[in-house]
Structure 1
Amino acid sequence: MPPRRKLNEFERGRAVAWFQDGVPKREVARRLHVSISVIVRLIQRFTATGRVQERRRPGRPKKTTPREDRLIERLALQTRTASSSIIRRQLRVATNTNINQQTIRNRLHGFNLRFRRPAVRQRLTPAHRAARRAFCRRHVRWTRQQWSQVLFSDESRFTLNHNDDRLRVWRHQGKRYIDATVQEKVAFGGGFVMVWGAFSLHHRTPLFHVQGNLTGLRYRDEMLRPLVVPTLQQMGPQAVYQDDNALPHRARVVNDFLQQSGVNRMEWPACSPDLNPIENLWDELDRKVRSNHPPSQGCPAPLPDATG
Structure 2
Amino acid sequence: MTPRKSLTDFEKGQITVLMNQGISNRQIAKTIGRTHTIVNSFVKDPTGYGTKKKSGRPSLLSQRDKRLIIRSASNNVDSCRQIKSDLNLDVSSETVRRTIAKSKFIKYRKMKKSPYLSNVHRVNRMKFARNHRRTDFTKIIFSDEKKFNCDGPDGYRSYWHDLRKEKLRFSRRNFKGGGVMVWAAIASTGRIKLCFVSKKMNGADYRIVLRRGLMPFWRRNRNGNFIFQQDGAPIHRARKTTEWLTRRNIPILEWPSCSPDINPIENVWAFMVRKIYEGNKTYRSVDDLKPAIIAAWREVDQQLIDNLYLSMDSRIFQLIQRSGGPTDY
Partner amino acid, structure 2, of 1:103 = T
Residue 129 (str. 1) matches residue 122 (str. 2): yes
Q: Which residue of 2 aligns with 1:150?
A: 140
Please report the TM-score for the alignment, with normalisation by the length of structure 2.
Answer: 0.61
**CA 1:47–1:240: 2 relative to 1, 3 Å:** farther
- Deviation string 1:231-254 (CA, Å, 9 cap, x unpaired) is 323322422111111121111221
8 A Cα contact 1:197 1:208, kept in partner: yes
Please report the TM-score for the alignment, with normalisation by the length of structure 1.
Answer: 0.65
8 A Cα contact 2:147 2:180, kept in partner: yes
- Deviation string 1:169-192 (CA, Å, 9 cap, x unpaired) is 56343x224xxx444433333221
Distance in 2 (alpha carbons) for counterparts of 1:272 and 1:57: 55
Q: Which residue of 2 aligns with 1:109?
A: 101
**CA 1:61–1:253: 2 relative to 1, 3 Å:** same
Q: Which residue of 2 aligns with 1:277?
A: 264
Equivalences for residues 128-277 of structure 1 within 5 A: 128-142=121-135, 146-163=136-153, 164-165=155-156, 167-169=158-160, 171-173=162-164, 175-177=165-167, 181-202=168-189, 205-220=192-207, 222-237=208-223, 238-277=225-264
In the alignment of these two chains, the number of paired residues is 247
Distance in 1 (alpha carbons) for counterparts of 2:177 and 2:82: 42
Distance in 1 (alpha carbons) for counterparts of 2:139 and 2:173: 42
**CA 1:287–1:165: 2 relative to 1, 3 Å:** closer
**CA 1:192–1:99: 2 relative to 1, 3 Å:** closer
Match for 2:87 among 88, 91, 106? 91
8 A Cα contact 1:232 1:240, kept in partner: no
Residue 59 (str. 1) matches residue 51 (str. 2): no
Q: Which residue of 2 aligns with 1:12?
A: none
Q: Residue 127 of structure 1: CA displacement?
A: 1.9
Distance in 2 (alpha carbons) for counterparts of 1:283 and 1:90: 39
8 A Cα contact 1:84 1:104, kept in partner: yes
Structure 2: state its 5+ residue gaps.
1-40, 295-329
- Which structure is larger by alpha-carbon Rg, 1 or 2? 2
Structure 1: state its 5+ residue gaps.
1-44
SS in structure 2 of the partner of residue 232 of structure 1: helix
- Deviation string 1:199-225 (CA, Å, 9 cap, x unpaired) is 3233754432212411112212x1234
The CA RMSD measured in Å over matched residues stands at: 3.6
Q: Residue 265 of structure 1: CA displacement?
A: 0.4
**CA 1:171–1:135: 2 relative to 1, 3 Å:** same
8 A Cα contact 2:152 2:277, kept in partner: no
Q: Which residue of 2 aligns with 1:32?
A: none
Q: Give the structure, 1 or 2, with the largest relative contact order (CA under 8 Å, sep 6 or more).
A: 2
Q: Residue 63 of structure 1: CA displacement?
A: 2.6
